[in-house]
Chain A
Amino acid sequence: MAASGKVTVVLKAVKNITVQFCPFESNVGSTRMFLSVMSSHKVRATNLNCEVISTVKHDRTEPVVEITYLDGDKLMMKGAKLNCSEMLSSFQSMCAAKELQAKLAAAKK
């Protein structure tokens, strides 16, 4: 299970997370793991306003994770060829960058 004990995911800068996947496809494992990580208590407790919206489809489309941040930026991850740990690391790096930006903006003020 990726990110089990080392780094916790912080959702401070995230507005909502939308996950779409088709469960009968074979490339959905990483997306489903990502969804279960995002929906866990620890992660949700970091930001109670963040919504995790999941849609189950049946049209052979690729699994997609779309993350909308508070400042309007969007991160779209196509989970067909991605590993769960890769998705988590890219998400965490974006979140860290956003937090830095927010800190700098707060320091300037």
Chain B
Amino acid sequence: MAATLCRILLPKQGWLPFTQCVRHGSKAVTRHKRPLHFLKQKLMSVTRYIPPPRPAPPGAYPRQTIRDQEDDPFTLLVKKNLKSVFQESKMVAVVQNSGSTADEMMLLKYKLHKHGITVKFFPNQVVRSFLKDSTYSNMAPLFIGHTVLFISKEPKVKEMLSSLRTSRHMLLLGACIDNTLLSAQGVVSYSKLPSVAVVQGELVSGLTLLISQTAAMLQRHPAQLSALLQQHVKQQSSEGAPKAQEAT
């Protein structure tokens, strides 16, 4: 019926009819996508389903905020150990170990043990987190790579430096001696300092020298003393006058 209708309405070729039959076209179920009625097309586009944005999978991006995790028991033990080390020892030296063999390490440990210096290894991460909370926070940048700690109760710097000089792979980075952070050059100059007793003796001798000089001067004849004092006053006034002239 529909096909016959079409044939009647299109007698000539290249001639568009006044009315076009819409009922003839593709069937309801087609292999291609049937063109929708315009109103239906509009309705479908307006009511299209937009799915909610899916979040990234759990391990895709790193955490933006670093959450403070509780330390595991081993870390706590190491931190306790470190705390006792820093409390008991006067000298804590940080040395970078760049490829020394087990034999060399053994020899170095033996040499240092003779002078009472212990060699200790701690994991860098634990040390850094410990130092962050303690007063020694400025030592934190030293702990990168393979580091070794030389610990001793007495600051035996000369012996440590001599044993480090012989080993090729150990590099002194810095040390904390008597709660003072020193660089490598600081440690070398510390080793060249005289001992405390010598320095105290020098100070005492200098002070006593001055006091003895004043005492000797006062014990002289009073006429000599007055002459000396007059000369001193004259010198002071003469020094004061040129200084005033220079100022003006």
Contacts and interface: CB of A to CB of B under 8 A. Distances in A.
Give the size category of A's interface with B: 20 to 34
A36 B174 contact: no
A58 B188 CA distance: 13
B99 A25 contact: no
B173 interface: yes
Given A40-B98, A54-B98, 20 more contacts: A23-B94, A23-B96, A23-B141, A24-B174, A24-B183, A26-B141, A28-B141, A28-B144, A33-B144, A35-B98, A36-B145, A38-B98, A44-B99, A52-B98, A54-B171, A56-B171, A56-B172, A57-B185, A58-B185, A58-B186
B142 interface: yes
A89 interface: no
A58 B99 CA distance: 23
A32 B174 contact: no
B144 A32 contact: yes
Interface in A8-55: 23-26, 28-29, 32-33, 35-36, 38-41, 44, 52, 54
A75 B173 CA distance: 25
Contacts of A26: 141
B184 interface: yes
Contact of B184 (A25, A33, A56): A56
Interface in A49-79: 52, 54, 56-58
Interface residues of B, number: 20
Interface in B164-194: 169, 171-174, 183-186
A93 B221 CA distance: 88
B98 A24 contact: no
The A contact surface, by secondary structure, is mixed
B171 A25 contact: no
Nearest to B182: A58
A44 B104 CA distance: 16
A28 to B, nearest CB: 7
A68 B145 CA distance: 25
16 contacts: A23-B94, A23-B96, A23-B142, A23-B173, A23-B183, A24-B138, A24-B174, A26-B141, A33-B144, A35-B98, A36-B146, A40-B99, A52-B98, A56-B171, A56-B183, A57-B184
Contacts of A40: 98-99
